[in-house]
Amino acid sequence: MKKYALLIMTMLLVGLLAGCGGQQEAKKDLQPLTIGLMPDTDSLPFIIAQEKGYFKEEGLEVNIQQYKSAMDRDSALQSGNLDGAISDMLAVAFAKDGGFNVKVTSFTDGSYKLIASKQSGAKSVADLKGQDVAVSRNTIIEYVTDQILAKENLPEDSINKVIIPQIPTRLEMLQNGKLAAATLPEPMASIAVHNGCQFVTGSDELGINPGVIMFTAKTTNDRRAEIAAMYRAYNKAVDYLNNTPRDEYIDLVVEKGGFPPTAKEALKLPEYHHATLPKESDVVDCVKWLKSKGLIKKNYTYADFVVDVLNK
């Protein structure tokens, strides 16, 4: 009996060691992911996951590339320099309509705000009629701006849209009084308000959330293990941001996020969510807006945009 017991224990031990070795081997086999970020609060879970070593804990190397404009980010994705990016529904639609297949894997927790300069004296959307409002053309920024106007029953041409693609430049011109208003992502919107500008309204007030994480379709097809590891690390970073005192990470995110020093005092973070698929209404509304402007040819569905890699 003792011999049989010893044999069983030996077999169990060998199986356990083989399982551990298999897990380590699986982690070794993970290929690096290259992710594009923007200077916004959507990107902070990636920065935290990188700096706190959460990606490394999952056996994954993530190369982070930062961009100041959506155009530069999208060019990098389509040229093969990125596997995925912090993005939005509009960028996804444009890529697909241009024959470049990308997929949304989750929504992000960013917000977009219409901010008036202190020199303009504007406090409402109606106050901005006929004035210069900075946006980036055919992006989530213009989409949110148009949704704001629609809610106020104002036509798109009720304001003079000034096209300024780079977010830092848009912020600087707003603060210098060269614009009546600008639509900005966080934390740039909070920085502007901190420096004396006026919050008017934004995407949170509209109840829309068009920000997403997207990957090339090739990556979602061939790199499921890497994406799963990335999201495990991402969720750890979300927990860290939601449960850690601000003072413990603010210097890190300002430095690594490429934010101006004033963000240290002005930055207001959302309540971050674990990786979750976007609402169908956010996809449908964006596609409807793009179709109405003649910017895309096909009437894309939710299934065309979104792939569920979170439960597989």
- Structural domain contains residue 129: yes
For range 210-230, the mean pLDDT: 96
Decide: 163 and 136 in contact? Cβ < 8 Å: yes
Q: What is the pLDDT of residue 24?
A: 46
Q: What is the pLDDT of residue 173?
A: 96
> Is residue 201 within a helix (H) or strand (E), and if so which, with residue range?
strand 198-202
The number of distinct structural domains making up the chain is 2
Cis previous bond, 168, omega within 30: no
Q: What is the pLDDT of residue 19?
A: 52
Q: What is the pLDDT of residue 9?
A: 52
Instruction: Please check whether residues 90 and 226 belong to one and the same domain.
Output: yes
> Is residue 107 within a helix (H) or strand (E), and if so which, with residue range?
strand 102-107
CA distances from 213 to 4, 156, 230, 278, 309 (A): 54, 28, 12, 10, 12
Instruction: Please check whether residues 97 and 45 belong to one and the same domain.
Output: yes
Q: What is the pLDDT of residue 11?
A: 54
Decide: 78 and 100 in contact? Cβ < 8 Å: yes
Q: Which domain holds residue 77?
A: 31-109+210-305
Where is the domain boundary, 206, 228, 259? 206
- Structural domain contains residue 173: yes
Instruction: Please check whether residues 123 and 267 belong to one and the same domain.
Output: no
- Structural domain contains residue 180: yes
**In the predicted structure, residue 6 carries a pLDDT above the cut 70:** no
Q: How confident is the model at residue 8 (pLDDT cuts 50, 70, 90)?
A: low
Where is the domain boundary, 206, 237, 253? 206
Decide: 139 and 286 in contact? Cβ < 8 Å: no
CA 15 to chain CA centroid, nearest Å: 42
Decide: 147 and 176 in contact? Cβ < 8 Å: no
Instruction: Please check whether residues 143 and 281 belong to one and the same domain.
Output: no
User: Pick the residue with more confidence: 312 or 34?
Assistant: 34
- Structural domain contains residue 5: no
Q: What is the pLDDT of residue 167?
A: 87
Residues 6+ apart with CB under 8 A from 229: 27, 30, 55, 58, 59, 60
> Is residue 246 within a helix (H) or strand (E), and if so which, with residue range?
none
Question: pTM here?
Answer: 0.83
Decide: 178 and 119 in contact? Cβ < 8 Å: no
**In the predicted structure, residue 183 carries a pLDDT above the cut 90:** yes
Instruction: Please check whether residues 127 and 266 belong to one and the same domain.
Output: no
Write down the mean pLDDT value for the chain.
90
- Structural domain contains residue 217: yes
- Structural domain contains residue 43: yes
CATH number of residue 247's parent domain: 3.40.190.10
Instruction: Please check whether residues 172 and 141 belong to one and the same domain.
Output: yes
For range 126-137, the mean pLDDT: 96
Instruction: Please check whether residues 147 and 182 belong to one and the same domain.
Output: yes
Where is the domain boundary, 185, 206, 227? 206
The shares of helix, strand and coil residues in the chain, as percent rounded to the nearest 5, are 50, 15, 35
